[in-house]
Amino acid sequence: MNVVICDDHQHMNALAAQVFIDLLKSNPQAVLGLATGTTPIGVYQKLIDSYRAGEISFAEVTTFNLDEYIGLHRDHDQSYYYFMHQKLLNHVDIQGQRVFIPSGVEEDYATYCQWYEDRITEAGGIDLQILGIGSDGHIAFNEPGTALGSRTHITELDPQTIRDNSRLFKSIDDVPRRAITMGVATIMEARQIILLATGENKAEAVRDALQGPVSSECTASALQQHPDVTFYLDTAAARLLQNE
């Protein structure tokens, strides 16, 4: 795995955005895997800037988001559908029919999860996936204990994730307890993966992901077995890494 440590967040966002920009220039029909959370917002802003500068277009791009809270309608201001549109999709020339964000309000999730997997397959798989990491080591909402062979499924959020994400809700009681998420195996099929982590509270998860055993206790550790992953970290998030 490649690790880039960079304290200037603007520079880090620019480096991560450049991976997308290079891909879109060489393949305007690329399939992108997108993540929500606070960490990738700066990367999305750089992509909007690049689009506005006429460097890239999303007209033929397909996107798949990692996850969504169960029970939040797409117009709820904490839904990931809403987030993606606010932070990126409303500001570029992407076609709505090529935007896939898991729905939080389905009745038959067994059918729906398979449908979502089938759409990824039909699109030819994900070329480039961006990830954050939870303080509990999750990627998407693959919480500790999730099988590394998992595919898109419904999950119970870990108490630590509920606490972490409560900062974005009026109260902790408003944080949904369940989510739909791509599985670890779904994510591992992306051809290229970049993971961003900033801040002290990610340091343990980053250490476990990069230097711990491959284990479902830290689902990000599965990335050690992927052939093309780069972690972009600030010094605080990289604080516990041992030189190898």
Give the binding site for ligand PGA (CB under 6 A). Answer: 37-39, 132-134
Q: Which residue is nearest to ligand PGA (CB)?
A: 37
Catalytic position from the list 68, 138, 158, 208: 138
- In whole angstroms, the minimum distance from the beta carbon of 28 to ligand PGA comes to 28
What tokens does 124 get? 């030819």
Whether 67 is catalytic is yes
The nearest distance, CB 161 to ligand PGA, in angstroms, is 7
Is the CB of 56 or the CB of 231 nearer to ligand PGA? 231
Helix axes 80-87, 41-52, angle to 10 degrees: 40
Instruction: Rank residues 6 and 56 by Cβ distance to ligand PGA and give the closer one.
Output: 6
DSSP structure class, residue 224: G
- Annotated active-site residue 55? The verdict is no
Block residue for tokens 């994510």:
187
CA Rg, the chain, in Å? 17
Which of 39, 62 has the CB closer to ligand PGA?
Answer: 39
8 burial level (CB within 10 Å; 0-12, 13-18, 19+): exposed
143 is catalytic: yes
Q: How far is the CB of 105 from ligand PGA (least distance, A)?
A: 21
Catalytic residue among 117, 143, 164, 234: 143
158 among known catalytic residues: no
The one catalytic residue among 68, 117, 127, 136? 136
DSSP string computed for 174-222: GS-SEEEE--HHHHHTSSEEEEEE-SGGGHHHHHHHHHS-SBTTBGGGG
* CB nearer ligand PGA, residue 132 or residue 176: 132
Per the listing, tokens 């990738």 go with 40
Tokens 């800037």 sit on residue: 49
Shortest Cβ distance from residue 51 to ligand PGA (Å)?
22
* Catalytic (active-site) positions: 67, 136, 138, 143
